[in-house]
């Protein structure tokens, strides 16, 4: 297994190299000037001062040389400094990553708690009103853009329920004066999480429930399921111990692809709800022409996506005995 993982990592290195080139080229092609972002809009910095900052940031070098220097720093763990916030990128990203993880992990858990049993029941009652209702519900969840659903919740729920926060992660007044206890802080974050978690959970539920239903429909029509039933096994045992055991395999792949999103963020949703996550800071860095921060966010997401695929392949070998990982 270890040998297989090392082989896969070696194969993934060229992929990450190509991704890093694309990220660097795309960010550098954005309109705007990093030196202007460093001084701030409306600054009266002299041309000499601008040249000094340009040299300090390495912008006086050619693009290939800038890329090599940037990649060398990233490999050693140095993500550079944020020109807009005037501090190391690693210190900026750290808290935002965990804010994003909390939001996405909570919504994913809630979605799975509902999606798995409902998806299984849909397959068992295929063609019934229950199946048709949840199929339409899932189709809506997949079709409706998250930002549109978020705006609907803000308009109909947030603006009509007294005390329901529609943006941010904390109450500004409580945070500035300090919380009376840890439980008050947890409660404040939980209340602010209601709307964004609902939007993400709705979207995740739609995807996972359809996967579970379609996979279960395929499995419960197989010969070994009919054999299990003919032996007199209880229906719950047949469905959950035999059918779902094999139907969960596609779910593992999907979960593997979802792992990166737990940390990389929901860019549009975090912007709509002003949630202090990695997605919002990515948008802010692009608007502020903060290239070091933008590239760090993008390369972080890319690495997670690649590792998520690797984890999905490894998990496959555990849930499906037919698949063997060859060294």
**Residue 57 belongs to a domain:** no
- Nearest alpha-carbon partner for 240 in 214, 211, 219, 209: 219
- Read off the DSSP letter of residue 157: I
**Residue 302 belongs to a domain:** no
Enter the pTM of the model: 0.82
pLDDT in tens, 162-208: 888 888 888 888 888 888 888 888 898 999 999 999 999 998 999 89
202 CB-contact burial (10 Å; exposed 0-12 / middle 13-18 / buried 19+): buried
pLDDT in tens, 228-280: 888 888 888 888 888 888 888 778 777 877 777 777 657 888 888 988 888 88
**Residue 233 belongs to a domain:** yes
pLDDT in tens, 49-75: 878 877 887 878 888 888 998 888 888
Q: Is the pLDDT of residue 84 over 90?
A: no
Alpha helices by DSSP H, the chain: 2-28, 34-39, 47-56, 63-75, 89-124, 129-143, 146-153, 172-177, 182-219, 223-230, 235-236, 244-247, 249-264, 267-272, 278-287, 291-319
Alpha helices by DSSP H, 220-290: 223-230, 235-236, 244-247, 249-264, 267-272, 278-287
Question: Percent of the chain, pLDDT > 70?
Answer: 94
**Residue 28 belongs to a domain:** no
Strand partners, 82: 87
pLDDT at 122: 92
Q: What is the CATH number of the domain that holds 126?
A: 1.10.3720.10
**Residue 26 belongs to a domain:** no
175: containing domain: 92-285
| Cβ–Cβ < 8 Å for 79, 292 | yes
Query: Residue 88 in 3-state DSSP?
Result: strand
**Residue 132 belongs to a domain:** yes
Q: Is the pLDDT of residue 93 over 70?
A: yes
Residue 88 backbone dihedrals phi, psi, to 5 degrees: -55, 140
pLDDT in tens, 286-295: 888 888 888 9
**Residue 100 belongs to a domain:** yes
Number of domains in the chain: 1
**Residue 106 belongs to a domain:** yes
pLDDT at 119: 92
């Amino acid at each position: 297994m270890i040998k297989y993982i090392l082989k896969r990592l070696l194969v993934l290195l060229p992929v990450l190299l190509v991704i890093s080139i694309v990220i660097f080229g795309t960010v550098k092609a954005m309109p705007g000037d990093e030196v202007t972002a460093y001084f701030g809009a409306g600054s009266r910095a002299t041309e000499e001062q601008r040249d000094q900052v340009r040299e300090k940031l390495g912008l006086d070098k050619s693009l290939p040389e800038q890329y090599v220097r940037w990649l060398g720093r990233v490999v050693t763990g140095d993500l550079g400094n944020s020109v807009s916030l005037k501090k190391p990128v690693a210190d900026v990203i750290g808290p935002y990553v965990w804010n994003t993880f909390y939001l996405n992990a909570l919504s994913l858990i809630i979605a799975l708690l509902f999606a798995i049993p409902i998806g299984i029941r849909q397959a068992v009652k295929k063609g019934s009103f229950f199946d048709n209702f949840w199929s339409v519900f899932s189709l809506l969840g997949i079709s409706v853009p998250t930002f549109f659903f978020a705006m609907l919740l803000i308009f109909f729920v947030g603006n009509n329920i007294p005390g329901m926060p529609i943006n941010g992660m904390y109450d500004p007044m409580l945070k500035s004066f300090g919380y009376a206890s840890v439980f008050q802080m947890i409660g404040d974050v939980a209340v602010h999480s209601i709307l964004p978690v609902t939007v993400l959970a709705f979207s995740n539920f739609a995807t996972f429930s359809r996967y579970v239903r379609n996979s279960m429909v395929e499995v419960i029509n197989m010969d070994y399921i009919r054999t299990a039933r003919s032996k007199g096994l209880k229906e719950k045992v047949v469905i959950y111990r035999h059918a779902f055991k094999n139907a969960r395999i596609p779910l593992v792949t999907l979960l593997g692809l979802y792992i990166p999103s737990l940390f990389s963020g929901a860019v549009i949703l975090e912007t709509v709800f002003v949630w202090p996550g990695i997605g919002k800071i990515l948008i802010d860095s692009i608007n502020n022409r903060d290239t070091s921060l933008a590239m760090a966010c993008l390369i972080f997401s890319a690495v997670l996506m690649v590792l998520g695929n690797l984890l999905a392949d490894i998990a496959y070998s555990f849930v499906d005995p037919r698949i063997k990982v060859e060294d």
